[in-house]
Amino acid sequence: MLNHKTITTILTITALCLISLARAEEKKPWEPELGKLDYDIYVPIEKERELYQMDIKQITPKDGIRTGYVIAYGHFIKPPYKFEIVNDTMLFLNGVQIEPQLYPKKLYRYIDSIRAERAAKDPYQAKKDSICRAITTLDSIARVIYKQVYKSRGRDGAVDTVMKFFKAQDIIDSVSFCGFWDKDGAQFEIFHPRPPGKTSLIITLRGPDFKPDTVPLFKSTPQSKREVIERFLLKKYNDELEKGWLLLFTGTPGSPYERSQGDKYIRKLLSILDNRDLSLEEKFSEVEKIKYDLPLYKGIKVLLYNYTPSEWPKLNEIRGGEK
């Protein structure tokens, strides 16, 4: 059980962390992810081709898996397919990095520059950044408190202590308990300023015995990363290709398809991409209609702007294609 002295110590540490964060001159560089784009940022159509361009240098090995299909960043990867683990942390297919996946760097640099320009013009941005860092620190401390108290007083005691902790923070206007989560977790909603107004955040805390369903690939040691790649990704991708499935990489996890779906998918794509009577917007709309879990919008843009006819097979070379 946490006594008064322990809680006071934690609060003191919190205060020191917040002071240190407030004095920080600048935050760490933004690490963009494909699923975390700001959709209010407009990319002019005349800039799209340049920003979505993803050049790759694929190689064609002499041996490897000759079944299945692979599309990586809009490029058709020619079989046979051979995987290679590099530096214990990266997975390459025919010389192309697929894990962790690549991103259209120019696009994210452009978006980052727009966000920076907006931040520079926003009189509240410095305050927003300071509050964001402070809330992140409080979230981390709350997770430690919850786990420690859970061991001695159970979930009810952990919830009660975390509620008191949040209420004691000047930066938090109010907090409410949302309910229990799964077997050992609990959710809270904290309300805090976000100049010029206010906002809220849902925080989910888990007990000391909670373990993720899968091993985090990119937050682990090099040794465990290699183990994850060998045990899960390599086996998964090898099995799928040997079954004749399609692996699709557009900055999100590769999506497998059964052989019949893969053949049908490739044929549909080629009939759209090679159609000179369709405008770029019409091609986008037609590709979007294909219901095979193609990552929408960004994935389609990557596909359209990186499509190179000489890389792809002819329609009559695809199983079931027109002769």
Domain identity same for 224 and 313: yes
Domain identity same for 165 and 92: no
Domain identity same for 283 and 233: yes
When pLDDT is averaged across residues 245-251 and rounded to a whole number, the result is 81
Total count of domains within the chain:
2
Domain identity same for 154 and 93: no
Domain identity same for 226 and 286: yes
Among 171, 194, 216, the domain boundary falls at 216
Domain identity same for 194 and 240: no
Question: Is the CB of residue 99 less than 8 Å from the CB of residue 70?
Answer: no
301 or 8: which leads in pLDDT = 301
Among 189, 216, 243, the domain boundary falls at 216
Predicted local confidence at residue 46, as pLDDT: 86
Domain identity same for 241 and 262: yes
Domain identity same for 277 and 296: yes
Q: Which residues of 175-185 are buried (b: 16+ CB within 10 A; e: fewer)?
A: beeeeeeeebb
Residue 269, in any domain of the structure: yes
Residue 105, in any domain of the structure: no
Domain identity same for 168 and 208: yes
Question: Is the CB of residue 129 less than 8 Å from the CB of residue 27?
Answer: yes
Residue 280 has pLDDT above 50, yes or no: yes
- Across the chain, what does the average pLDDT equal? 78
What CATH number does the domain containing 200 carry? Answer: 3.30.1300
Residue 136 has pLDDT above 70, yes or no: yes
Question: Which structural domain, as residue segments, surrounds residue 78?
Answer: 49-100+217-317
Among 161, 189, 216, the domain boundary falls at 216
Question: Is the CB of residue 210 less than 8 Å from the CB of residue 185?
Answer: yes
Cβ-count burial of 20 within 10 angstroms (0-12 exposed, 13-18 middle, 19+ buried)? exposed
Domain identity same for 82 and 66: yes
When pLDDT is averaged across residues 9-35 and rounded to a whole number, the result is 40
Domain identity same for 192 and 233: no
Q: What is the pTM of this model?
A: 0.60
Domain identity same for 225 and 311: yes
Q: Would you give the DSSP letter of residue 81?
A: B
Residue 20, in any domain of the structure: no
Residue 77, in any domain of the structure: yes
Residue 4 has pLDDT above 70, yes or no: no
Nearest alpha-carbon partner for 237 in 101, 100, 98: 98
Tokens of 198: 């206010």
Residue 221, in any domain of the structure: yes
Residue 120, in any domain of the structure: no
Residue 11, in any domain of the structure: no
Residue 60, in any domain of the structure: yes
pLDDT over 90, % of the chain: 29
Question: Is the CB of residue 251 less than 8 Å from the CB of residue 305?
Answer: no
136 or 259: which leads in pLDDT = 136
Q: Considering only 60-74, 113-127, 208-222, 263-277, which range has the smallest mean pLDDT?
A: 208-222
When pLDDT is averaged across residues 73-96 and rounded to a whole number, the result is 92
Residue 237 has pLDDT above 50, yes or no: yes
Q: Cite the beta strand spans of the chain per DSSP E.
A: 69-72, 75-77, 83-86, 90-93, 96-99, 174-181, 185-194, 197-205, 246-249
Q: Would you give the DSSP letter of residue 317?
A: G
263 or 197: which leads in pLDDT = 197
